[in-house]
Amino acid sequence: MEKTFQPRDVEQRWYQLWEQRGYFAPASENPKTANSAGDPFCIMIPPPNVTGSLHMGHAFQHTIMDALTRYQRMNGKNTLWQVGTDHAGIATQMVVERKLAAESNQSRHDLGRDAFIDKIWEWKESSGGTITQQMRRLGNSVDWPSERFTMDDGFYAGVQQAFIQLHEQGLIYRGKRLVNWDPKLQTAISDLEVENKDSKGSMWHIRYPLADGAKTADGKDYLIVATTRPETLLGDTGVAVNAKDPRYKDLIGKFITLPLINRRIPIIGDDHADMEKGTGCVKITPAHDFNDYEVGKRNKLSLINILSRDGMIRSIAEVFDCEGNVSTDYDNQLPEQYAGLERFAARKAVVADIDALGLLDDVKAHDLSVPYGDRSNVVIEPMLTDQWYVDAKTLAKPAIEAVEDGSVKFVPKQYENMYFSWMREIQDWCISRQLWWGHRIPAWYDEEGNVYVGFDENNVREKHSLASEIKLTQDDDVLDTWFSSALWTFGTLGWPEITERLKTFHPTSVLVTGFDIIFFWVARMMMMTMHFMKDENGKPQVPFETVYVTGLIRDEAGQKMSKSKGNVLDPLDMIDGISLEALLEKRTGNMMQPHLQEKIGKRTQKEFPEGIAAHGTDALRFTLAALASTGRDINWDMNRLEGYRNFCNKIWNAARYVLMNIEGQECAADNSQNYQLSLADKWIISQLQKTETAIRKHFDEYRFDLASQALYDFIWNEYCDWYLELSKPILADPNASTELQIGTRRTLARVLEATLRLAHPIMPFITEEIWQSIAPYAGINVSSDKDNGEEHSIMLQAYPTPDASKIDIEAVADIEWVQAVVIAVRNIRGEMNISPALALPVYFSNVSSQDQSRIESCGQLIQALAKVESLTCLKVGDEKPASATQLVGELEIMVPLAGFIDKDAELARLDKEIAKLDKEIGRLAGKLGNSGFVAKAPADVVAKEQQKLADAEDAKRRLQTQQQQLDEL
């Protein structure tokens, strides 16, 4: 074995082997294991965006999913980790558009829809594999042969089926509504994709002249409305006042002459107008504001759309009545000076013209939050368009109940509130998008505008008995990407076909995802799945039983990782390492905002002056697991990664030690040899059982941080620090019995072997690599026997199960005593600055019979671990040498001064010890002196405290005696 662990050498070798041998497939589909396949366990991957590459958040979630999958696979479950990618409508379309523009200076319109979609597929074939390769590097045990893509034929058919069925059931409808419109991408987006940003703007107060000579109560011939978007006045169809407002209530039913355009619009009474707020008068623009839209509907106001789809002022407005039908109630001519003006330029022009007319009453600075498209980063415009909607309220009902009654559980639980709050106020879901890349809406229109829904044109004609001469055209729009990913859990398993997999693995077991997509994805999967999937009794099936919600991975300063901040870390760079030059290129090359380049470069240089060292996949995974306390964001810490890389090396070297000592030696692998277990053997075996219990519990409770901690603690602080050291004196002792040495070798091998299995779900590679060498010494045959098809991998071994009968309480107590004595001697050595090379004579006094027998049975261990030259027990009455003293319970441990201990140093050390005890005694005495405590605290607690006080007082007394004696010398 190499002296240090070299992850690069082992990782890919094992991954390829696992994949080739089909170890990731469900046991039920492997002829060798089909009969013994246990209960199903299934995780659906949140499909990564096909345009993307894996970031630290993926690495984190994938580590958790893989750990769960491997853990359950080793527990004998029939496991499936279903993999796939999402077509990511807008994102992918934008990537390919940009590429097209860069390469041939063409737009997608130059190319045409079909040719453009071909381009996307080409691009997907050539670059869509990035993620899957990265997942292989992370060791993810996903079932590759069944990988799905949301635009695959089978999945596509499922999406169409879902749409058609929902439409037939009246749960999908088409309507003219206000939507969030992205003028740059020219599509509707959902309000979840809108990001509200605070900004400083103005509030313009505008005079609206009253028509027909009407006057306000105080004699004015105008009303004042306030607005942050003055250009929308071109679309005003009313002014609202509160019907209770004494200032204006008499004006209700009268009219305003809209400035600039001389449109005669009614004054209406509506509660939307708040008497306390502003002037009490509100301009109503139903086609360009969500609140006004509702007011308009209530008051039967017309809708006037003044904007084109790209956010320019139209020359001719679109006028509709309150039902959305084309109307001639108003003149559709808009002032020509604004025609074709971009909306923000129009704002300026309108304000200037109003001012010129003397109608600008006031302008005030105003803080407001402005909606931006999260992809396009332009201001979103409420826009009146025809769109398809899902009746979300109906679908949400059972989905809410499933969480209420515990059919679906969130971990941590508090996310259920977030889910409820959204689901209970859910609005109908706009599912059409004006894009080319996606699932095209399976709806056709005849020339009268009648809609027919079906799988394809023929199917539609047949279904509706349409003559072949009737011309049909398919809807141009595609479905929201989340519509298809809402079908993910059952669509990937073959639905609408009822496949074996669907029957076996649905509902799935656990969903691992970020809190940021609970609304986007989790809630929608709940709605769709429960609508389409029913069990044999017709009861809706949930998509998954548990939702494990992860936090975000942030940088070390708690900042979100983003390209524009230049603080993004690539998980593969943690694994393989990267030079500073390459990292700089990665962070600053090909930037959308070149002006940030210098800042990011400097920051990177400062943070990683040497680049990043290679740490290996196992260290990365262990770090992520160790930081995964539930539901909390993680501030990434390179130092922890380094610490856990060292941990990998520690395991490696422990294995090296074990192999060095068992190779070519008898270790009772097949139990054909007699062996005897030492106290140390029994102790480490006991500790192993406890660790197994703890780690299983932690996995079952999704506490990967605690599982990692328990593993780390056992391997480093028990197995390496103590057990390996305890094994040395036995193996090195020429007088030790053969049986005892065999027992030690056997324990070295078997405990390590079990520990590797314990660690495997988190650290798959290093455990497999070592396991292959160690397992034969633990009685496991690992050679591939092609004839009977036997193949061995730690992946397919059983997860360790604790055996309470192997816990030897006495051995544990004995070794803990040994540890205490060894630490006592080491403490003296350390505090007295005695060279570790120097073997010390040690005296014991106040020796109980139990101490006596322990000294006899374990003296050799103490000598070896504390570097002690001789052990001498003093009898009662024997004169104690002048020495440095430590206490282990009643037992006094002494290292004589002669030769190596400075008297003053020892006196000072005793002072320190006594001061510590004094503090303790004071605290305990105070507590026990409190009558309330003694009277009310449980008896065992009081007794415990009393014992502690007595022990501390006794220890103090003896240290003081010691101090006195020393002082008198």
The yes or no reply on residue 291 touching RNA (CB under 7 A) is yes
Q: Which stretch binds RNA (CB under 7 A): 277-285, 486-494, 602-610, 846-854?
A: 277-285
The yes or no reply on residue 445 touching RNA (CB under 7 A) is no
The answer to whether 384 and 292 have CB atoms below 8 angstroms apart is no
Dihedral of the alpha carbons of 926, 927, 929, 932, in degrees to the nearest 10: 140
Question: Of 61 and 793, which has the nearer Cβ to RNA?
Answer: 61
Span 321-380, contacts to RNA by CB under 7 A: 366-369
CA 383/CA 386 separation, integer angstroms? 10
The yes or no reply on residue 830 touching RNA (CB under 7 A) is yes
The yes or no reply on residue 34 touching RNA (CB under 7 A) is no
The yes or no reply on residue 760 touching RNA (CB under 7 A) is no
Question: What is the nearest approach in angstroms of RNA to the Cβ of residue 531?
Answer: 24
Span 495-534, contacts to RNA by CB under 7 A: none
Question: Of 22 and 577, which has the nearer Cβ to RNA?
Answer: 577
CA 210/CA 353 separation, integer angstroms? 19
The yes or no reply on residue 836 touching RNA (CB under 7 A) is yes
CA 783/CA 786 separation, integer angstroms? 9
Q: Report CA-CA distances (Å) from 394 to 160, 401, 466, 491, 527.
A: 20, 12, 32, 22, 9
CA 449/CA 460 separation, integer angstroms? 15
Question: What is the nearest approach in angstroms of RNA to the Cβ of residue 506?
Answer: 30
CA 2/CA 557 separation, integer angstroms? 37
Q: How many residues bind RNA (CB under 7 A)?
A: 90
Span 554-593, contacts to RNA by CB under 7 A: 556-558, 560
Question: Of 191 and 457, which has the nearer Cβ to RNA?
Answer: 191
The yes or no reply on residue 272 touching RNA (CB under 7 A) is yes
Question: What is the nearest approach in angstroms of RNA to the Cβ of residue 384?
Answer: 18
Angle between helices 523-532 and 415-423 (to 10 degrees): 70
Question: Of 164 and 233, which has the nearer Cβ to RNA?
Answer: 233
The yes or no reply on residue 640 touching RNA (CB under 7 A) is yes
CA 930/CA 103 separation, integer angstroms? 83
The yes or no reply on residue 639 touching RNA (CB under 7 A) is yes
Question: Which of 831, 890, 953, 954: binder of RNA (CB under 7 A)?
Answer: 831
Question: Of 110 and 556, which has the nearer Cβ to RNA?
Answer: 556
Question: What is the nearest approach in angstroms of RNA to the Cβ of residue 271?
Answer: 9
Question: What is the nearest approach in angstroms of RNA to the Cβ of residue 723?
Answer: 9
Q: Which stretch binds RNA (CB under 7 A): 255-263, 327-335, 741-749, 820-828?
A: 820-828
Neighbours of 950 (CB within 10 A): 11
Evaluate the omega torsion of the peptide bond into residue 836 and state whether it is cis, within 30 degrees of 0. Answer: no
CA 490/CA 505 separation, integer angstroms? 9
Q: Which stretch binds RNA (CB under 7 A): 520-528, 529-537, 633-641, 871-879?
A: 633-641
Question: Which of 214, 418, 780, 820: binder of RNA (CB under 7 A)?
Answer: 418
CA 74/CA 68 separation, integer angstroms? 10
Question: What is the nearest approach in angstroms of RNA to the Cβ of residue 237?
Answer: 15
Question: Of 495 and 520, which has the nearer Cβ to RNA?
Answer: 520
Span 100-159, contacts to RNA by CB under 7 A: none
313-320 and 303-307 beta bridge pairing: antiparallel
Question: Of 343 and 829, which has the nearer Cβ to RNA?
Answer: 829
Question: Of 528 and 648, which has the nearer Cβ to RNA?
Answer: 648
Site string for RNA, 591-630 (x = CB under 7 A): ------------------------------------x-x-
The yes or no reply on residue 665 touching RNA (CB under 7 A) is no
The answer to whether 818 and 863 have CB atoms below 8 angstroms apart is no
The yes or no reply on residue 417 touching RNA (CB under 7 A) is yes
Question: Of 545 and 831, which has the nearer Cβ to RNA?
Answer: 831
CA 13/CA 9 separation, integer angstroms? 8
Three-state DSSP string of 316-357: EEEEECCCCCECCCCCCECCHHHCCCEHHHHHHHHHHHHHHC
Go through 625-663 and write b for each residue having 16 or more CB atoms within 10 A of its CB, e for each that does not. bbbbebbeebebebebbeebbebbbbbbbbbbbbbebbe
The yes or no reply on residue 9 touching RNA (CB under 7 A) is no
Span 679-708, contacts to RNA by CB under 7 A: 705-706
Which one, of 235, 236, 231, lies nearest residue 223 by Cα?
A: 236
Span 386-405, contacts to RNA by CB under 7 A: none
Question: Of 192 and 378, which has the nearer Cβ to RNA?
Answer: 192
Question: Which of 724, 770, 794, 855: binder of RNA (CB under 7 A)?
Answer: 724
Is 42 in a helix, a strand, or coil?
strand
The yes or no reply on residue 881 touching RNA (CB under 7 A) is no
Angle between helices 704-712 and 679-700 (to 10 degrees): 170
CA angle, residues 840, 842, 847, in degrees to nearest 5: 165
Question: Which of 308, 716, 737, 846: binder of RNA (CB under 7 A)?
Answer: 716
Span 859-878, contacts to RNA by CB under 7 A: none
The yes or no reply on residue 281 touching RNA (CB under 7 A) is yes
The yes or no reply on residue 464 touching RNA (CB under 7 A) is no
The yes or no reply on residue 161 touching RNA (CB under 7 A) is no
The yes or no reply on residue 645 touching RNA (CB under 7 A) is yes
Question: Which of 497, 598, 633, 790: binder of RNA (CB under 7 A)?
Answer: 633
- The DSSP H or E segment spanning 241 is strand 238-241
Is 624 in a helix, a strand, or coil?
helix
Q: Which stretch binds RNA (CB under 7 A): 464-472, 752-760, 775-783, 822-830?
A: 822-830
Question: Of 171 and 821, which has the nearer Cβ to RNA?
Answer: 821
Question: What is the nearest approach in angstroms of RNA to the Cβ of residue 644?
Answer: 7
Question: Which of 428, 721, 791, 953: binder of RNA (CB under 7 A)?
Answer: 721
Which one, of 873, 849, 869, 851, lies nearest residue 860 by Cα?
A: 869
Which DSSP string do the residues of 185-219 spell out, in sequence order?
TTEEE-GGGEEEEEEEEEEEEEEEEBSTT---TTS
The answer to whether 81 and 594 have CB atoms below 8 angstroms apart is no
Which one, of 451, 502, 500, lies nearest residue 473 by Cα?
A: 451
Span 213-252, contacts to RNA by CB under 7 A: 225-228
Question: Which of 833, 870, 964, 965: binder of RNA (CB under 7 A)?
Answer: 833
The yes or no reply on residue 930 touching RNA (CB under 7 A) is yes
Is 843 in a helix, a strand, or coil?
strand
Question: Which of 73, 108, 433, 829: binder of RNA (CB under 7 A)?
Answer: 829
The yes or no reply on residue 282 touching RNA (CB under 7 A) is yes
CA 205/CA 207 separation, integer angstroms? 7
CA 638/CA 573 separation, integer angstroms? 12
Span 528-557, contacts to RNA by CB under 7 A: 556-557
Evaluate the omega torsion of the peptide bond into residue 412 and state whether it is cis, within 30 degrees of 0. Answer: yes
Burial of 63: CB neighbours in 10 Å, binned 0-12, 13-18, 19+: buried
Q: Which stretch binds RNA (CB under 7 A): 113-121, 250-258, 411-419, 579-587?
A: 411-419
Question: Which of 25, 37, 359, 720: binder of RNA (CB under 7 A)?
Answer: 720
CA 802/CA 805 separation, integer angstroms? 9
Question: What is the nearest approach in angstroms of RNA to the Cβ of residue 951?
Answer: 8
Which one, of 415, 462, 384, lies nearest residue 181 by Cα?
A: 384
Site string for RNA, 181-200 (x = CB under 7 A): ----------xx---x----
Question: What is the nearest approach in angstroms of RNA to the Cβ of residue 574?
Answer: 14
